Structure 1
Amino acid sequence: RAHRRGLAQGGNLDRHQLPASLRRGAPGLGGDGGAASPRILASSAGHREPGAGSHRPTSRSRRLTESSPPPPEGFSAPPVPRIRAIAVGLLLHEDRLLFAEGHDAVKGETFYRGLGGEIEFGEAAAKAVVREFREELGRGVRVVAQLGTIENRFTLQGEPGHELIVELLVEFAPGEAPDDFEPLTADEGGHPFTARWLPLAEVLAGAWRVYPEGVPERLAGWLNATFASP
């Protein structure tokens, strides 16, 4: 069995730690193209009325800021849709990546996504992803690099969702890695799920349905920038 070596502190990986197949030009890796930059989608700036002085609220904005009457007794107000800020970690161990496995019954598809969760108020995204891995997987990780910030609008089980994702590359903390690549059982708020190891080369090649969109390109961009020949 090949000698196992983890990621070095701070993400200073030795190119020779990667399998030869990846160094020789796995899809998206090596000298066959420039490094892909992480996709950062910024929110649009708010509109401002022309002219000096304070902004005069429109009738719509006044309606939104006025207090609404409470719902009738015995009824609860429907939840207001909101955008979520979350931190997601792509866990790289040797030549595999760990993803949570999910299934959308409406679309009839199985998909994979990095582990993570909502960023708490005042919490750094890097600390949030470390906390989430400890809570969901029961194992310690440390952050290697930030791959990007992505706006993700999607539907899951027929319901719309909207997220701002801070996507991070992480590795196991010393002594936390498992002995094999068997699927891991994780838990999110009392709801168990399966986390599976996918081959890095296959993820880069787009062989798996991984969300949010663009994971292979962002990973390839980081690998190219990290292992580019001088």
Structure 2
Amino acid sequence: MVVLPDLGRGVHAVSRMEPTLENPEGFHRLIGGGVEHGETALDAVLREVCEELGATLLEPELLGVLENIFELDGEPGHEVVFVHTGRLDPADTVPAEGGMFEDGGRPMPVEWRPVDDAILSLPLHPTGAAALVRRAAQHD
């Protein structure tokens, strides 16, 4: 997964996920997905940014690794998430108002979430990502 900050506006790009039993209003998730067999975490994040946003990730850097134990619609889940940061090629942008993209042929709304997100009711997943978002904001 990747933190994609627009630090001039104090926001970062996230996908807006559908409501679940645990999050009836939906939730935000960092951009990205799974690592395929034979692929490094870095290769996966570069591929996922290209697939989901049609964009090129420049200057990728590993921020940290999160272990996330969760439930999604009552089903237990467990994942290890390599969280990177970087910036999008200037030719590849997410509009300031957000936009609709596709993830595996499914519509994927992308929104801008404030780095300082304490007042938001929508949680950010994976758990622990908010601290890495703040670290990315301080780094630049």
TM interval, short-chain normalised: 0.7 to 0.9
Contact 1:140 1:172 in 2 (8 A): yes
Of the three residues 194, 201, 213, the one matched with 2:109 is 194
Between the aligned partners of 2:44 and 2:59, the Cα distance in structure 1 is: 11
Q: Does the alignment pair 1:147 with 2:63?
A: yes
Q: Deviations over 1:141-195 (max 9, x none)?
A: 22442111111111112222111100111210132124x4122212121211201
Deviation at 1:102, TM superposition (A): 1.0
Contact 1:112 1:209 in 2 (8 A): yes
C-alpha distance 218-105 of structure 1, shift in aligned 2 (>3 A): closer
Between the aligned partners of 2:111 and 2:55, the Cα distance in structure 1 is: 15
Of the three residues 115, 130, 133, the one matched with 2:31 is 115
Normalized per residue, which structure has more strand?
A: 2
Of structures 1 and 2, the one scoring higher in RCO (CA 8 A, sep 6+) is 2
User: Structure 2: any 5+ residue segments left out of the alignment?
Assistant: none
Q: Deviations over 1:55-101 (max 9, x none)?
A: xxxxxxxxxxxxxxxxxxxxxxxxxxxxxxxxx11111233200011
Identity of aligned residues (%): 29
Matching residue of 1:72? none
Q: Deviations over 1:129-152 (max 9, x none)?
A: 111111111122224421111111
Root mean square deviation, CA, Å:
2.0
Contact 1:143 1:168 in 2 (8 A): no
Between the aligned partners of 1:121 and 1:185, the Cα distance in structure 2 is: 28
Matching residue of 1:214? 128
TM-score (norm. length: structure 2)? 0.83
Between the aligned partners of 1:222 and 1:199, the Cα distance in structure 2 is: 13
Deviation at 1:223, TM superposition (A): 4.3
Matching residue of 1:104? 19
Deviation at 1:117, TM superposition (A): 1.1
Q: Alignment partner of 2:26: what SS? A: strand
- The total of aligned residue pairs comes to 136
User: Structure 1: any 5+ residue segments left out of the alignment?
Assistant: 1-87
Between the aligned partners of 1:125 and 1:98, the Cα distance in structure 2 is: 19
Between the aligned partners of 1:217 and 1:206, the Cα distance in structure 2 is: 15
TM-score (norm. length: structure 1)? 0.53
Between the aligned partners of 2:71 and 2:87, the Cα distance in structure 1 is: 30
Q: Alignment partner of 1:116: what SS? A: coil
Matching residue of 1:159? 75
